[in-house]
Structure 1
Amino acid sequence: MTFNLNTEGESPNRITLRLHGRLDAQTFNDFDLAMLDVLPRIAEGGTVVLDLSGLDYISSAGLRSIAKIRRSTRARGGHTLLLNLQPQVRKVFDIVKAVPVNEVFASLQELDDYLDHMQRRMTGQGLPGGS
């Protein structure tokens, strides 16, 4: 699966970005490059809204990309809001918030393997009777 990014409702104070597909080690760089163009268009104190309703999967690389956006907007007095997380993506954010991943996982690969397993379990993929 690929990754797509659509921009909606852009103004100097707010922009909404719809993410579709997978934000992982193969696609995060495309997202990061797009953000280099998008973020400067937001005014000081502005808001970036990430609509994740079409995001089916996120890895640690995707989490890092979103963390970079949050740091960038915060540094300029703004905010980053996440909307419409699918259950498996929400689970990843819950895991990362609840678990000090640098203390629990020996490597990024181990973390990604765990996140992949959890998201597949949430969507029924890779399980008997799953798709």
Structure 2
Amino acid sequence: MSLNIEIWQRDATTKRAVLKGALDSEAQTELKEKLDPILASDVKALILDLAGLSYINSAGLQYLFMARRTMEAKRGALLLVNVQRQVQKVFDIVRALPAESVFSSVEELDRYLDRIQHGRRE
């Protein structure tokens, strides 16, 4: 799986990142390299356009949660737009999880996320 990332400057305090492909463990490293400098800058709004994002796993979710916390800490915002249905399902499920751990490992969570995004049930 691969991820293409394009960064656009909307205005002095807003950047937009367009993600195309899959945000898995390998792609998360590339995303981190591109977005960390933005997160450390004076940008107040980071827009992630997910129209082309077809897949996300726990590594991708973890990075997005960290990016959101970073933006909130500097009174900014991480905004997601054009979220594809299968990726939205993942976001919905994660928000619905209770505070206690439901999955015994990251690997188990990734297998579950893979199944729901590809329409397979066990």
> What's the TM-score once normalised by structure 1's chain length?
0.85
- The answer to whether the Cα contact below 8 Å between 1:11 and 1:42 also exists between their aligned partners in 2 is no
Question: Aligned equivalents of 1:42 and 1:22: distance in 2?
Answer: 28
Q: State the number of aligned residues.
A: 121
Question: Aligned equivalents of 2:82 and 2:72: distance in 1?
Answer: 21
Partner of 1:105: 103
Q: Which has the larger radius of gyration?
A: 1
Partner of 1:82: 80
Question: Aligned equivalents of 1:98 and 1:74: distance in 2?
Answer: 21
| 110-119 vs 9-18, greater mean Cα deviation | 9-18
> What's the TM-score once normalised by structure 2's chain length?
0.91
- The answer to whether the Cα contact below 8 Å between 1:14 and 1:42 also exists between their aligned partners in 2 is no
Query: Which consecutive residues of structure 2, in runs of 5 or more, have no partner in the other structure?
Result: none
Query: Which consecutive residues of structure 1, in runs of 5 or more, have no partner in the other structure?
Result: none
Partner of 2:14: 14
The amino acid that maps onto 2:95 is K
Question: Aligned equivalents of 1:101 and 1:85: distance in 2?
Answer: 25
* Deviation (angstroms), 1:27: 1.1
Whichever structure has more strand as a proportion of its residues is: 2
CA RMSD of aligned residues (A): 1.7
Question: Aligned equivalents of 2:100 and 2:106: distance in 1?
Answer: 9
* Deviation (angstroms), 1:101: 7.1
**CA deviation digits over 1:73-108, x for unaligned, max 9?**
101001111101111000000000001375110011
**CA deviation digits over 1:23-64, x for unaligned, max 9?**
011210111111122223334xx1111100000000000001
The amino acid that maps onto 2:117 is Q
Partner of 1:34: 34
Partner of 1:67: 65
Q: What fraction of aligned residue pairs are identical, expressed as a percent?
A: 38
